Structure 1
Amino acid sequence: MKNPITLFINWIKKQFRKKEFNKRQDIYDDVINKLKPALEEKSKKQQDLIKIIINNFAKDTGNGYGSEFIPTKQKNNMHVLQIIDHKYGEKMRELDVRLTYDLRLVCI
């Protein structure tokens, strides 16, 4: 059988650890609750920008196609990348939206 004094000391240590953990958990929850609205707003702005780019793609590039991938039948991918970057590049960098080489819009 273990020494009762040792058991009591270990129990006290456990209570202190639990108390510290709960304090850290409360701080973490506060930070998450403060950041959540900002992250949701940024995500909404990113999705709005993507919808604008997709809806105006045919007019901007001269291609009349649209899907998850932006197909390029008349122009090569680099030319389309330049067109989209020229028109929406500043807003895309501001909202952390990237257009990949295979013409997929990616939120970061």
Structure 2
Amino acid sequence: MEEKIETLLSEMTLAEKVSLLAGADMWRTVAIERLGVPSVQVTDGPNGARGTDDNLGKTSMCFPVGVAMGATWNPDLIRRVGVKLAAEARAKGGHVLLAPTVNI
């Protein structure tokens, strides 16, 4: 996998690399079609998966902040919350969950 990534990076132009940092908009990365790199949709919370502009105003789960859940010292609880967050993000079309209480 690392070799494939290194090859892909070596084939990208500087402009293409920079475009991935900026994104197509607030919720999507830029696709690089000539290399088969798809656009990735992100979503954030902070304690659930809000979704994109299409989902604004809709409900989402609201879990306690990460530090509160971490204070339980209950790995099974955290795993179950992760499963629920993943399902919600997927249901809202997200490929990546940017929630600050998750991506530590």
Q: State the TM-score, normalized to the length of structure 1.
A: 0.33
More helix by percentage: 1
Q: State the TM-score, normalized to the length of structure 2.
A: 0.34
Q: Flag the structure with more relative contact order, 1 or 2, with Cα contacts below 8 A and sequence separation at least 6.
A: 2
